[in-house]
Amino acid sequence: MPFLCQGAAVTLQSAAGGAALAIVIALVVGLMASSPLRTVRGVARVYMEFFRGTSVLVQLFWLFYAMPILTGYQMDKVFAGVLALGLNLGAYGSEVVRGALQAVPPSQREAAIALNFSPLQRMRYVILPQAFVEMIPPMNNLLIELLKATSLLSVITVADLAYEGRLLVNSGSDQLIVFALMLVIYFVFSYAITLVMRFVERRAARMVGRGKPRRRRATAAVEAAR
């Protein structure tokens, strides 16, 4: 367990760094993909299609092994892993952001225009808060996929959970026990992400008026039962 816990800590570190980078990229590129300017949309589309259409493992190899040949600079292996995960999952997340922005009803945009909101105010106060609620469920799936993709970092000798597990098996530890513990640890991390994202989704829904206080829900349930 001490070795697996050390690997789990590295996995969490990599997942947190990759998630932070992916969320920032997803928001920026998703907004660019919704821009009225064709050039801006084109740049966003090129990024999205390239990183979604190529393997994250190949991107990881390219950043860690090919980049030093071209630039003469060797990245830290954890940083290279976080960068590859963030760029790849950010491309998927940007499509989620773009879709959520497009899902906001046109009447909401028209109401904001009628209130004489500027384009920035419309995006900040009307469109983005409502789109944020729609982004959370698919983002939850992407964050779990990112967590599981951290196991690929072991191929560049990052001492994550998958790497430590293989070392234990190669050193003679019981394979069944090691792999069972790894499954449990990955499941616990994934379920923790789900719980956090569900909490965020409920809070975000209440902020835009889609949720109901608990007392009102209970009262409505009693009335319906009567």
Six-digit token string for 98:
């773009």
Helix (H) / strand (E) containing 165: helix 161-170
Answer whether residue 218 shows pLDDT above 80.
no
Q: What tens digit of pLDDT does each residue of 32-81 get?
A: 998 889 999 999 999 999 999 999 999 999 999 998 888 888 889 999 99
The total of structural domains in the chain comes to 1
Answer whether residue 83 shows pLDDT above 70.
yes
Q: What tens digit of pLDDT does each residue of 189-200 get?
A: 999 999 999 999
Residues for the chain: how many in total?
226
The string over 182-214, giving b where at least 16 C-beta atoms fall within 10 Å of a residue's C-beta and e elsewhere, is beebbeebbeebeeebeeebeebbeeeeebeee
Minimum mean pLDDT range among 11-20, 78-87, 122-131, 210-219: 210-219
Domain hosting residue 26, numbered range: 2-225
Note the pLDDT of residue 16: 94
> What's the pTM value of the predicted model, to 2 decimals?
0.84
pLDDT category at 215 given cuts 50, 70, 90 is very low
The answer to whether 163 and 157 have CB atoms below 8 angstroms apart is yes
- Residue 187, domain CATH: 1.10.3720.10
Note the pLDDT of residue 141: 94
pLDDT category at 212 given cuts 50, 70, 90 is low
